[in-house]
């Protein structure tokens, strides 16, 4: 009796079908439904209004405030996070050997519940009237994964590169700025993209830090707060419009980062 055998490509396709079905039913279809809600006047009459909801949302002062704070979080906190992760990774890979004993401490913040971290942060920075504590909380919470990625990239560099650089007389500063950091540039760009995406998920920490209020100070009012408040007010059109605009912003950032990453890989 002849056995029925499947090709490798067919086997992998069958294995991916459950995941693809989940993506379609739980992400793709809901996204198009959200897009539909952003183009109608309300969920009862469902009259098509075109881009009126987008014009109203872009002109809303609270959406502009939330967008400004979210972009400021990316510019300040993500930049600080990448610099700290890069320096710690360099120290772990080439510098301080005693620091390697503390490697687990950099990963630990990722497994600590957001509520516990926000409670400790509130007790430490209760008198601060700025967004700086939230920036520091974001850096402390997300630096671990970037340190892991960059350290792994540094350890994959061939030792012959360092020996050749040493023979040519390159010092440590020039070695890292001209050789090691450019060689891990794809990993560095991926860490930047990952940190930017994580910056849009800081709502839980902010919500716990300000004691569960829906209206934090203006300096900490982000896009997640804007969408959450519109959800509580049952304003699905504003919620859907803000969600679509946020997804387009994230998509543009990720696509730009991937293009830069491919350029450094080629």
pLDDT, tens digit, for every residue of 161-188?
666 766 666 666 666 667 777 788 888 8
pTM of the model: 0.82
* Res 1 pLDDT > 50: no
Residue 10 counted as domain residue: no
Which residue range(s) make up the domain with 175?
A: 60-265
Residue 14 counted as domain residue: no
Residue 237 counted as domain residue: yes
In total, how many domains does the chain have?
1
Average pLDDT over the chain, rounded to an integer: 83
Residue 199 counted as domain residue: yes
35-49, 56-70, 79-93, 122-136: range with highest mean pLDDT:
56-70
**Residue recorded with tokens 């209020």:** 213
Residue 39 counted as domain residue: no
CATH number at residue 81: 1.10.3720.10
Residue 256 counted as domain residue: yes
Residue 36 counted as domain residue: no
- pLDDT for 240: 92
Convert the pLDDT of each residue in 99-126 to its tens digit: 556 666 777 888 888 888 888 888 888 7
- From 229, 248, 199, 249, select the one nearest 60 (Cα to Cα): 229
Residue 192 counted as domain residue: yes
């Amino acid at each position: 009796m002849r056995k029925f055998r499947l090709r490798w490509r067919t086997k992998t396709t069958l294995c991916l079908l459950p995941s693809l079905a989940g993506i379609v039913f739980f992400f793709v279809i809901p996204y198009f439904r959200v897009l539909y809600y952003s183009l109608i006047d309300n969920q009862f009459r469902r009259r098509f209004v075109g881009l009126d909801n987008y014009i109203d949302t872009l002109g809303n002062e609270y959406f502009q405030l939330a967008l400004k704070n979210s972009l400021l979080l990316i510019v300040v906190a993500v930049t600080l996070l990448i610099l700290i992760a890069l320096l710690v990774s360099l120290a772990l890979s080439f510098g301080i050997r005693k620091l390697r004993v503390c490697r687990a401490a950099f990963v630990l913040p990722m497994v600590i519940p957001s509520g516990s971290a926000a409670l400790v942060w509130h007790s430490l920075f209760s008198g601060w009237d700025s967004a700086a504590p939230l920036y520091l909380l974001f850096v402390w919470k997300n630096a671990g994964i970037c340190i892991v990625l960059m350290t792994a990239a540094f350890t994959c560099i061939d030792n012959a590169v360092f020996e050749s650089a040493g023979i040519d007389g390159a010092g440590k500063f020039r070695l890292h700025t001209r050789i090691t950091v450019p060689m891990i540039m794809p990993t560095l760009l991926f860490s930047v993209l990952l940190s930017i995406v994580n910056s849009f998920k800081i709502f839980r920490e902010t919500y716990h830090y300000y004691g569960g209020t829906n209206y934090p100070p203006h300096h900490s009012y982000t896009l997640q707060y804007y969408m959450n408040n519109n959800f509580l007010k049952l304003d699905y059109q504003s919620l859907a419009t803000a969600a679509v605009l946020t997804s387009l912003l994230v998509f543009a950032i990720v696509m730009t980062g991937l293009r830069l990453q491919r350029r450094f890989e080629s």
